[in-house]
């Protein structure tokens, strides 16, 4: 399975070819969403969030990528959350999640990746019981689920140590990306303050 960003690049390239082959149809196709997402009874930003929600519910990867980009372009932080450790997932899948967050997270909030948690009543909970990974609800709350950032049940083919090493590497990348962005934005605020003598400056608060 290709990465999310590569998939988006492929879609963009295919769309550019399509526009060259049938420019009239492509132009009409472009104009339709421009009209749909225009401010009306509902603001355009709300419409974008609704479209992103629909893409997520439907599970269309291309739609999720497209609507994520347009949501960010509309000035909305969609609050991207990724968890890791579902049945059979591996480091390659984790790396794709990190790539996605690094590309689309706007650093308005710190985003890290947590392990999947099989809460009682969920399909994963019953899967864990059926496969001897969990005894019952008491076992989950008293013994397994000690911290949301630690494994309660390991559904992957990795050992617990391998899982944690992968998660550590992934979150190191995310933490580094976040704080580098925050540092860059803070330095930019300082430059605006001292070079442009910005009177609206109110301190170096956390971004």
Q: pLDDT by residue (tens digit) across 60-73?
A: 877 888 888 888 78
Non-local (6+) Cβ contacts of 160 within 8 A are 151, 154
pLDDT tens sequence across 151-175: 999 999 999 999 999 999 999 999 9
Task: Of 37-46, 65-74, 116-125, 171-180, give the lowest mean pLDDT range.
Answer: 65-74
Q: Which residue carries 């999720």 as its tokens?
A: 64
Residue 132: is its pLDDT beyond 70? yes
* Residue 24: Cβ-neighbour burial (10 angstroms; 0-12, 13-18, 19+): exposed
Model pLDDT for residues 63-114, shown as the tens digit of each residue: 888 888 888 787 777 677 889 999 999 999 999 889 888 887 777 778 899 9
Domains and CATH numbers, the chain: 1-78 (1.20.1290), 80-114+157-207 (no CATH), 117-154 (no CATH)
Mean local confidence (pLDDT), 122-142: 95
């Amino acid at each position: 399975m290709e990465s999310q960003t590569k998939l988006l690049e492929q879609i963009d390239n295919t769309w550019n070819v399509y526009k060259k082959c049938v420019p009239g149809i492509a132009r009409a196709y472009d104009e339709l969403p421009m009209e749909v997402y225009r401010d009306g009874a509902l603001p355009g930003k709300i419409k974008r969030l609704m479209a992103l929600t629909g893409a997520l519910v439907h599970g269309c990867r291309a739609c999720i990528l497209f609507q994520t980009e347009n949501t960010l372009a509309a000035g909305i932080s969609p609050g991207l959350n990724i968890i890791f450790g579902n049945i059979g997932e591996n480091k390659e899948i984790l790396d794709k999640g990190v790539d996605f967050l690094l590309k689309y997270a706007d650093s308005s909030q710190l985003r890290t990746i947590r392990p999947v948690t099989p809460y009682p009543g969920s399909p994963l909970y019953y899967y864990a019981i059926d496969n001897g990974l969990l005894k019952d609800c008491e076992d989950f709350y008293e013994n397994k689920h000690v911290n949301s950032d630690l494994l309660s049940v390991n559904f992957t083919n990795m050992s617990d140590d391998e899982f944690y090493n992968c998660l550590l590497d992934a979150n190191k990348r995310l933490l580094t990306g976040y704080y580098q962005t925050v540092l860059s934005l803070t330095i930019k605020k300082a430059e605006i303050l001292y070079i442009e003598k910005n009177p609206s400056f109110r301190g170096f608060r956390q971004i």
